[in-house]
Amino acid sequence: MTSDELKAEALRLSPEERAELASELLVSLDDLSEPEIERLWLEEAERRDAALDNGTARAIPADEVFSSARARLG
């Protein structure tokens, strides 16, 4: 099963089941070593950079992000 298939299956769970799964997954990250955490952050940064480069993601200026967040907060 691919990670995309696993995500699709997880999203079919009830909100309570998803929350429990998310909690367990987050707790499991506490067991990672510092080098593992650094490796995962580097992989994520590379994934995001590639998404920007290939056009599947776009950068949003910080002022737009903060303005939108302020509007949602009231």
For residue 74, the surrounding DSSP H or E stretch is none
Mean pLDDT of the residues in the chain: 94
This prediction's pTM: 0.53
Per-residue pLDDT reduced to its tens digit, 12-44: 999 999 999 999 999 988 888 999 999 999 999
In the numeric block, which tokens belong to residue 36? 């593992």
CA-nearest of 36, 59, 37, 38 to 48 is 59
Bigger pLDDT: 32 vs 63? 63
